[in-house]
Amino acid sequence: MSLYTDIGGEPAVNAAVDIFYRKVLKDDRINRFFSNVDMEKQAAKQKAFLTMAFGGPHNYTGEDMRRGHAHLVAQGLNDTHFDAVMEHIGATLTELKVPANLIAQAAAIAESTRKDVLGK
């Protein structure tokens, strides 16, 4: 859990969720995958995802990731969209002045979900 502690734990995730979610909603490449859902529920899910990427507590399995995104894959979710999300995670952490080596670790965790998220 040291990455999670180093990044700043729950307060850091709380700060990151708003910034990250604003970027996602403003990004015309991907915001269609995030529209038509309750914004608050969506923000809570983003928080769970970022907590995982930051090395924090979670119980998501690869299977959960597949099931949770299958309907989006059916709508055309692909690598370019995943890349866009990765970009926003990096930019969010940079904005929060997280050191580059920690950003790289968080990015690696997020990246490790790519196959499951995209149903490959």
Q: List interacting residues with other proteins (CB under 8 A).
A: 10, 14, 17-18, 21-22, 25-26, 39-41, 43-45, 47-48, 51, 56-60, 64, 68
Least separation in angstroms between CB 113 and other proteins: 13
Q: How far is the CB of 99 from other proteins (least distance, A)?
A: 24
3-state helix, strand, coil in the chain (%, to 5): 75, 0, 25
Residue number, 56 or 101, with CB nearest to other proteins: 56
CA distance 108 to 92: 15
Return the number of the residue (21 or 33) whose C-beta is nearest other proteins.
21
Q: Which residues contact 115 (CB under 8 A, 6 or more apart)?
A: 62
Q: How far is the CB of 48 from other proteins (least distance, A)?
A: 4
Q: How far is the CB of 49 from other proteins (least distance, A)?
A: 9
* Dihedral of the alpha carbons of 62, 68, 73, 79, in degrees to the nearest 10: -50
How many residues are present in the chain?
120
Residue with smaller CB distance to other proteins, 83 or 95 = 95
CB-based contact 106:3 (threshold 8 Å): yes
Using the minimum distance from each CB to other proteins, give the nearer residue, 31 or 78: 31
